[in-house]
Structure formats: C-alpha cells, structure tokens
Amino acid sequence: MQRLNLIIFGPPGAGKDTQVEKILEHFNTDPIETGAIIRDLVKSDTQIARQIKDTIARGDLVNDSIMEAIIKDRLKKVSAQSGLIMDGYPRTIKQAETFNLLLTFMDRKLDYVVFLDVPEDVLVSRLSQRKICSICGKTAFPQEENCSSCGGALEKRIDDNLESIKKRIINYNEKTAPIINFYRKRGLLLHIDGNKSPDEVTKEIFEGLKS
C-alpha cells in the first residue's frame, strides 16, 4: 500500500471522521485525530486539563504551543512504514508552518490536503444533531442508537451546544479558513464538495488521491 501523508480539513461538521475511516480502509495510514486526543486529555483531573476543557466548551481553539506539544508527542508514535492523516490540526497558519517543520524532521512530505467544503447552514444542522460514542469516541449517524463499533452509549459532545457551534464556525472562518489558500498556493489542496452523501464524498476523495 502507498504511504500517504494527508491532512483532512474542513469546518466542524464537514464529515471528517467518516471520511477518515474510509481512507483507513484503503491506505496504511495512522489517524491523528486531535479532537479525540484532547477530549481524552481533559478527562484527567489536572489544571491544564481544566483549562483546556473551559477553552473547548466555549468553542475556542486550544493555543498553538499546547497543540504543538500534543502533536509532537503523537507524531513520535507513528511507525516509519505507515502514512499519516491529520484531523483537527493544523488549524491556524502558524500551526501549518510548524507542521511543515515537524514533517521535515520526520523526513516526510505532505501529499494532499483534503478539503471538505460544506455550506454553513448545513453544518449547524448537522452539529446540533450529532452524537458520539461515550466509550470509543466514534461519531454516530443520526439513525443509530448505540455505537456501531463497540456498542457503547451515545452522548453529545461537550462542544456541540448552539453557542459553541456558532463560535466554532466563526473561529473556523477567521483563523482556520486562511489555511485553504496557504495549501492551495503550494499545490496541495484537494477541494471536495462535502455536501453530498458520505459515499459520493468518498468516491470524489479517492479519485483525487489517485490523480
């Protein structure tokens, strides 16, 4: 299998989790899902955990230096044979620049940034209905009553309240969206219409990765 280094990128609610799963079925790729790492981290009862918890519950971004420490630590665990797919990082231009350096240190280069483009009104409605597994963190589809992977009970994410959703979309537009141009200029952007069925989106992504 091909070793691909990817970023999956898009606004909150764009369907990144679902597409990462599809990519993992076809490529030897280590998923680095920063949202899950952070949600795990805040379960511990430390001062830093409480700080981060307040930050994400408000819909704000965890600051660059904390993110860098988390990512460095996680990248050390990626095996040399496997590719990687970043989900939830980088989220600012500064983080994108740092990530370039980290990849260079690992003797890797970024192959693609898969950008899932979804209109804002669709995002708000998706996020306000979203549930995740309380055990493994997998995102559930609306019709599911229990987690399809482990059978765990479903719950709302702490940041999926309407206030936080709006704030995250504003943050995304202000701080994260500029990354699109950053990667487009470097010829790495794979622009995908994310407002389609999950299977159609997957098909478009795979066609892009092959070309």
| Minimum distance, C-beta of residue 149 to Zn ion, in the bound complex (Å) | 5
| Minimum distance, C-beta of residue 136 to Zn ion, in the bound complex (Å) | 3
* 148, 140 contact by CB (below 8 A): yes
Residue 210 known to be catalytic? no
Residue (62 or 140) nearer to Zn ion, CB = 140
36 binds Zn ion (CB under 5 A): no
Residue (101 or 136) nearer to Zn ion, CB = 136
| Minimum distance, C-beta of residue 135 to Zn ion, in the bound complex (Å) | 5
Residue 109 known to be catalytic? no
Alpha-helical runs (H) found in the chain: 16-26, 34-41, 47-57, 64-75, 93-105, 120-129, 162-171, 178-185, 198-210
Among 147, 169, 190, 205, binds Zn ion (CB under 5 A): 147
- The closest of 97, 46, 53, 51 to 71, measured between CA atoms, is 97
> Which of these is catalytic: 39, 91, 131, 138?
91
Among 24, 101, 150, 170, binds Zn ion (CB under 5 A): 150
HSE-up of residue 51 (Cα within 13 Å, Cβ side): 6
How many residues form the binding site for Zn ion (CB under 5 A)? Answer: 8
133 binds Zn ion (CB under 5 A): yes
Among 124, 135, 177, 209, binds Zn ion (CB under 5 A): 135
Evaluate the omega torsion of the peptide bond into residue 31 and state whether it is cis, within 30 degrees of 0: no
CA distance readout (Å), 166 to 27, 102, 155, 156, 170 = 34, 31, 20, 16, 6
The residues, any chain, with a CB within 8 Å of residue 205's CB and separated by 6 or more, are 19, 22, 23, 114, 190, 192
| Minimum distance, C-beta of residue 137 to Zn ion, in the bound complex (Å) | 7
136 binds Zn ion (CB under 5 A): yes
Catalytic residues: 16, 91, 130, 157, 168
Residues that bind Zn ion (CB under 5 A): 133, 135-136, 138, 147, 149-150, 152
